[in-house]
């Protein structure tokens, strides 16, 4: 039996000068955001896009607080990546945990792995482990930053640099909105940014362990997220407005 050929890090199509211009533009965007807003926060998943932003934040000295959603169902590689990133940059990443009562309520209704049963249970699990913790992490902030890109999925093709997060009533920025996948990896190579180990094993997009799998070469880069659901929308609800 032939082993499947999984996704791998793509080559760059940018010249060194073009890459330098993109990198400078990213750093300027972050510097501008941190100047315009008094309390800016960045939710990092430790995946490639978020590592690019983390690297730029530390190198610009932008006053942006970093946190990660410690869902309780992450890969060990992701847990370890938090420590790797903190050590590399000399920073502290706040860990935001779900409330025990919220997780238990989900388990009582659907079972520990009930998210496999359909879209609604999946939303309920994400709600308990990700959305409610994100809401708590953003209380008091007047802007937040994401690693979203237009190229990532059909639900993000109209993404802009700045949006209004009308659910939370704050500004939301997507500083990599116009970057391609190959741009991301070229920048990571140039800046010697730490790489999440799962990216080297065929995972272009990384979420919770039971809800993320490797992606075969040629598949959509988010095909490994909630793969059992027949839907073009590979979202958990973190980035949905009203």
Alpha-carbon distance of 68 to 97, in angstroms, equals: 9
Do you know the residue count of the chain? 242
Closest by Cα among 152, 120, 148 to 45: 148
Q: Are 81 and 93 in contact (CB under 8 A)?
A: no
Annotated active-site residue in 125, 126, 208, 236: 236
Tokens (6 digits) for 198: 């799962």
Whether residue 156 contacts residue 148, with contact meaning beta carbons closer than 8 Å, is answered with: yes
Q: Tokens 């970093």, residue?
A: 66
- Contact indicator for 110, 121 with CB cutoff of 8 Å: yes
Backbone angles phi, psi at 7, to 5 degrees: -50, 145
Is residue 10 within 8 Å of 182, Cβ to Cβ?
yes
125 annotated active-site: no
Distance CA 97, CA 72 (A): 8
Read off the tokens for 38: 């008094």
Active site residues: 236
């Amino acid at each position: 039996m032939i082993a499947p050929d999984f996704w791998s890090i793509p080559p760059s199509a940018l010249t060194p000068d073009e890459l330098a211009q993109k990198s400078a533009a990213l750093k300027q965007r972050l510097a501008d955001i941190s100047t315009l807003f008094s309390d800016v926060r960045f939710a990092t998943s430790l995946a490639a896009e978020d590592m690019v932003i983390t690297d730029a934040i530390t190198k610009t000295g932008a006053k942006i607080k970093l946190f990660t959603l410690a869902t309780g169902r992450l890969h060990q590689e992701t847990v370890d990546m938090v420590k790797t990133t903190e050590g590399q940059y000399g920073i502290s990443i706040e860990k935001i945990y779900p409330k025990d009562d919220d997780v238990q309520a989900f388990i009582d209704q659907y079972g520990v792995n009930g998210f496999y049963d359909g879209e609604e249970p999946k939303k309920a699990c994400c709600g308990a482990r990700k959305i409610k913790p994100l809401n708590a992490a953003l209380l008091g902030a007047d802007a937040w930053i994401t690693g979203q890109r237009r190229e990532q999925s059909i639900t993000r093709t109209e993404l802009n640099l700045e949006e209004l997060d009308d659910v939370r009533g704050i500004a939301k920025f997507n500083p990599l909105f116009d970057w391609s996948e190959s741009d991301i990896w070229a920048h990571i190579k140039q800046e010697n940014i730490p790489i999440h180990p799962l990216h080297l094993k065929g995972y272009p997009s990384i979420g919770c362990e039971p809800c993320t799998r490797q992606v075969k070469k040629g598949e959509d880069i988010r095909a490994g997220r909630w793969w059992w659901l027949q839907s073009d929308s590979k979202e958990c609800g973190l980035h949905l407005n009203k």
